[in-house]
Structure formats: C-alpha cells, structure tokens
Amino acid sequence: MFELFQNKKSKKFHWNLKARNGQVILTSQGYSSKKGAENGIESVRKNCKDEKCFDMLTAKDGRTYFNLKSGNGQVIGKSQMYKSTSGCRNGIKSVSTNAPTATINDMTA
C-alpha cells in the first residue's frame, strides 16, 4: 500500500510504499504538490517492472539499500537500510511485485 501524506512542517507531500506487514520498503522525496506525489507513485508503478531501474548501494556503515530510478535516471524512491544484500534483494523483489497493484491510502484528506 502507498501512504500519501503531507509533512506538517515543510508542507511537502510524500509517500511511503509499505509491505503487507506494515514495514516501509520505499520512501519518496518531498513534492511541492499532491499531484506531483501522485505522479511519483505512478512512476514507481511503471518503473518497478524494469530491474535496470534499481540501484543497489552500500552505506558507509556497510548496510545495503536501493534506489528506484525513472527512465531518465532521476531517483523516484529510496529504500530502508538492510543488514544483508539478500535482504535488500528481497526488498527490490517486494517493490517489483507489489507496487504495480498497490492501493493508495490518502492521508491528506
């Protein structure tokens, strides 16, 4: 499920993609408009089907994470940190499998 929300301080719109267990697996940047955030969700749905759009990276502390990028190379979403590479790969698989049909919980209303 995508949760669409507005940050009370910055007034920017964000979304989180959550797994069935409620854990956040992908987080967006801040968008100046709700429509921009909704377009970001659609971009995730479109690009998550192409494994070339995922970049798996290693943080300074050795944990792994991934970014999902659009066709033009812009980062659409960033994952949580994983203790293992296999956990990170499972996160990518979860996004690829679940994002295309995930519902949107609009928390801005």
pLDDT in tens, 22-66: 899 999 999 999 999 999 999 999 999 999 999 999 999 999 999
Distances (CA, A) of 98 to 11, 13, 33, 56: 28, 22, 25, 19
- Judged against a pLDDT cut of 80, whether residue 109 lies above it is answered with no
pLDDT digits 0-9 by tens, 64-107: 999 999 988 999 999 999 999 999 999 999 999 999 999 999 99
Distances (CA, A) of 30 to 7, 45, 52, 59, 70: 9, 18, 24, 22, 16
Rounded to two decimals, what is the model's pTM? Answer: 0.92
At the top level of CATH, the class of 2-106 is mainly beta
Token readout for 22 is 């409620």
In the numeric block, the tokens 């499998």 are attached to 97
Residue type at 66? F
Domain ranges of the chain: 2-106
